[in-house]
Amino acid sequence: MSDQADVRTRFRALESRFYSPFDFGDGMVTRSPRVHRRFRRRLRLLRIPADLSGKRVLDIGAWDGFFSFELERRGAKVLAVDTYAWDHFGMDCFLFARERLNSQVEFRRMDVHDLSPEAVGQFDLVFCAGVLYHMRHPLLGLEKIRSVTAGQLILETNSLLPACHERIPLITLFPGDEDATRFAWHHGGFPTRAWVVDALKAAGFARSEVVYQPSFRWAKKLAALATNTPQRGRLIVHAFAPGA
């Protein structure tokens, strides 16, 4: 079997397991055009600096590496860390993408609660998308993230949208990844925007800026009022270490 045929065989075995949209060339494309459009929109909304040349960047919760490789493409030296996704879904997708993209992204199996300057050093930019609501101890997790953030944190998370009291720092109960599905109305510890902003301050960040709030926010709040069930939507916050 030729090398290219072997690559195609490996890709076909992994294709359905990719969460993110990749185009590896030679017709090897993951996910639908709709998902590709959605991720392009996410990149715009996240407001990641276009030029990260010379910057050291940490990607927390890398999964198949989409953002790790995008951060590297922008010039950064990247460390990708994950545990839950790699433990439950494997690292094959990440490693395949790393190989096909000729990437130099470093990677380490590490839980966010184990982060420390002694373990991984500090980073000019820390990127954390889709992780906060999986944390068993979210405030401790943010404190650990702050300890390795020398400059900026880009935090993207599912957020809680109650009908009322959105200005109160609320967060839903998180029973743990294995038991999350027993609550039909959420699958993790979703916080309100106020909780995220207050928690970042409590974790030691000097300032933060909400750069994106959930789409159709007021319609969701009305739905929460009508159903007596909090809604959810994505939230993006940039936070900065003292002196950054």
pTM of structure: 0.94
DSSP character at residue 171: B
Task: Quote the pLDDT of residue 5.
Answer: 85
Average of pLDDT values for 214-232? 92
Domain assignment present for 18: no
Distance in angstroms (rounded) separating the CA atoms of residues 125 and 148: 9
- Considering the domain boundaries, does residue 167 fall inside one? yes
For residue 19, tell me if it sits in a domain: no
Q: What is the pLDDT of residue 237?
A: 98
**Residues of the chain with pLDDT > 90: what percent?**
84
* CATH code: domain of residue 103: 3.40.50.150
For residue 12, being part of any structural domain is answered with no
Over residues 234-244, mean pLDDT? 97
Tell me which of 39-43, 115-119, 145-149, 231-235 is least confident: 231-235
User: What pLDDT does residue 28 have?
Assistant: 97
Domain residue limits at 124? 50-240
**Is residue 104 exposed (0-12), middle (13-18) or buried (19+ Cβ within 10 Å)?**
exposed
Q: What's the confidence (pLDDT) of residue 176?
A: 60
pLDDT of residue 94: 98
The tens digit of pLDDT for each residue in 137-193 reads 999 999 999 999 999 999 999 999 999 998 999 998 776 656 655 655 556 789 999
Question: How many domains does one find in the chain?
Answer: 1
In a domain, 154, yes or no: yes
Alpha helices in the chain (DSSP H): 3-14, 33-46, 66-73, 84-89, 92-100, 117-120, 138-147, 193-203, 217-227
Q: What is the rounded CA–CA span in Å between residue 46 and residue 205?
A: 19
pLDDT band at 98 (very low <50, low <70, confident <90, very high): very high
Mean of per-residue pLDDT scores for the chain: 93
In a domain, residue 14? The reply is no
Residue 41 included in any domain: no
In a domain, 159, yes or no: yes
